[in-house]
């Protein structure tokens, strides 16, 4: 393959330094990720200053490793794509600085990508899975968004969280239960071993397509305080059941409203086995195709940023390369 057919994607918006090398069809030649769990675990959440320092340490070794794994030289790439936001400003800046200086040295273009667009494209990594019109649920540590995708480029937001994201709720409940950070996976695994015998609230379940998770999180906190003897597995199962009920009900409502024929699940929480199973049942009931990226592409990664970079190139999109903490899904 001609190397100019490859984009190197840099993701550093939160707590993963990840470098992906991807062709225009979504074939992943390399993806090197340096996580920061050990650093943030001690604080029970992402500590922004430590995150940017860790990105600064890991980014060049990760780029070197990815280039070696793909067998390509930087100057032979088509472009570098880098997350320009949303995310932590210091962390974004580390990725942007590396991208801008390498692109200058290698005389190739650099493209600033919306991280949320990267999550959308993650569903087509390694093979094109999404068909249109689709509904996407983006459920991550920073976002909970339902959107209508009439075609590959347009994303119309239908609903979003009014307070905590679902991933944040998972992480906070995990912290209450002493399950470490980030705790989504630990909660999901324990939920499979427990019984959903506590009826937690489902805030704004009957209203529209927005979400709210902060009341659910507080109800779990109160329950743990007043019933310390309850098995952790049962708390997890009951909490996950409430989250699933909310996410599945709203996704089903979005499908009915848009008449979409495909449901796409992306973002870190889409790695949840429980969520995947619940959505699969709902999709089957509604005769809708379910698109799930492989688990490794659900959480933050550089490959999805590289594939989004191809879309920007195709469409001639070149947003200003500035670290931008907040960007809506509808923007590029
Ligand atoms: O997409 P992501 O890697 O980062 C953001 O853009 O936020 O999502 C991270 C979130 C965390 O809240 C983490 O606890 C959650 O995804 N997560 C999971 C699972 N794996 C990661 N939640 C539920 N089940 C999992 N298996
Ligand atoms: Zn993300």
Question: Residue-wise pLDDT tens for the chain (332 aa)?
Answer: 455 699 999 999 998 999 999 999 999 999 999 988 888 777 777 889 899 999 999 999 999 999 999 999 999 999 999 999 999 999 999 999 999 999 999 999 999 999 999 999 999 999 999 999 999 999 999 999 999 999 999 999 999 999 999 999 999 999 999 998 889 999 999 999 999 999 999 999 999 999 999 999 999 999 999 999 999 999 999 999 999 999 999 999 999 999 999 999 999 999 999 999 999 999 999 999 999 999 999 999 999 999 999 999 999 999 999 999 999 999 99
In 3D space, the residue among 285, 261, 264 whose CA is nearest the CA of residue 275 turns out to be: 264
Ligand 1 pocket test, candidate residues 88, 123, 140, 190, most atoms within 8 A of CB? 140
Any idea which ligand is nearest the CA of 182?
1
Atom of ligand 1 at shortest range from CA of 298? 1
Rounded to whole angstroms, the Cα distance separating 192 from 187 reads 9
How remote is the CA of residue 115 from the centroid of ligand 2, in Å? 7
Rounded to whole angstroms, the Cα distance separating 223 from 163 reads 21
Rounded to whole angstroms, the Cα distance separating 314 from 62 reads 27
Q: Which residues contact 26 (CB under 8 A, 6 or more apart)?
A: 121, 124, 125, 126, 127, 128, 307
Ligand 1 pocket test, candidate residues 269, 272, 273, most atoms within 8 A of CB? 269
Rounded to whole angstroms, the Cα distance separating 258 from 204 reads 20
In 3D space, the residue among 277, 306, 263 whose CA is nearest the CA of residue 138 turns out to be: 263
Rounded to whole angstroms, the Cα distance separating 221 from 217 reads 6
CA 213 to chain centre: 18
Residue at token pair 């793909």: 70
Structure tokens at 224: 């743990």
Structure tokens at 198: 């506590």
Surrounding ion ligand 2 within 5 Å at CB are: 140, 300
Rounded to whole angstroms, the Cα distance separating 65 from 160 reads 37
The H helix count followed by the E strand count for the chain is: 11, 10
Residue 243 near ligand 1, beta carbon < 6 Å: no
In 3D space, the residue among 274, 168, 258 whose CA is nearest the CA of residue 212 turns out to be: 168
Phi and psi dihedrals of 235, rounded to 5? Answer: -60, -45
């Amino acid at each position: 393959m001609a190397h100019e057919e490859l984009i190197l994607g840099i993701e550093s918006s939160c707590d993963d330094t990840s470098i992906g090398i991807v062709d225009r069809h979504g074939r992943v030649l390399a993806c090197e990720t340096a996580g920061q769990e050990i650093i943030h675990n001690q604080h029970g959440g992402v500590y922004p200053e430590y995150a940017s320092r860790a990105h600064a340490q890991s980014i060049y070794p990760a780029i070197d490793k990815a280039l070696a794994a793909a067998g390509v030289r930087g100057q032979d790439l088509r472009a570098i794509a880098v997350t320009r936001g949303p995310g932590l400003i210091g962390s974004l800046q580390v990725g942007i600085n590396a991208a801008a200086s390498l692109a200058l040295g290698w005389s190739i273009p650099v493209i600033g990508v919306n991280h949320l667009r990267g999550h959308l494209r993650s569903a087509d990594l390694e093979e094109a899975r999404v068909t249109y019109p689709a509904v996407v649920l983006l459920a991550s540590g920073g976002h909970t968004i339902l959107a209508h995708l009439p075609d590959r480029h347009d994303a119309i937001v239908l609903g979003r969280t009014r307070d905590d994201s679902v991933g944040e709720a998972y992480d906070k409940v995990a912290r209450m239960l002493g399950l470490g950070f980030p705790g989504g996976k630990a909660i999901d695994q324990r939920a499979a071993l427990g019984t959903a015998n506590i009826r937690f609230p489902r805030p704004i379940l009957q209203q529209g397509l927005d979400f709210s998770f902060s009341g659910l999180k507080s109800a779990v906190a109160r329950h743990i305080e007043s019933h310390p003897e309850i098995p952790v597995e049962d708390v997890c199962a009951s909490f996950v059941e409430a989250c699933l009920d909310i996410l599945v009900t709203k996704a089903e409502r979005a499908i009915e409203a848009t008449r979409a024929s495909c449901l796409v699940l992306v973002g870190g929480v889409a790695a949840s086995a429980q969520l995947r199973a619940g959505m699969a049942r709902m999709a089957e009931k509604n005769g809708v195709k379910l698109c799930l990226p492989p688990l490794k592409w659900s959480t933050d990664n550089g490959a999805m940023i590289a594939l989004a970079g191809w879309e920007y190139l195709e469409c001639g999109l070149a947003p200003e390369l500035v670290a931008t903490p907040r960007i809506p899904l509808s923007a590029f």
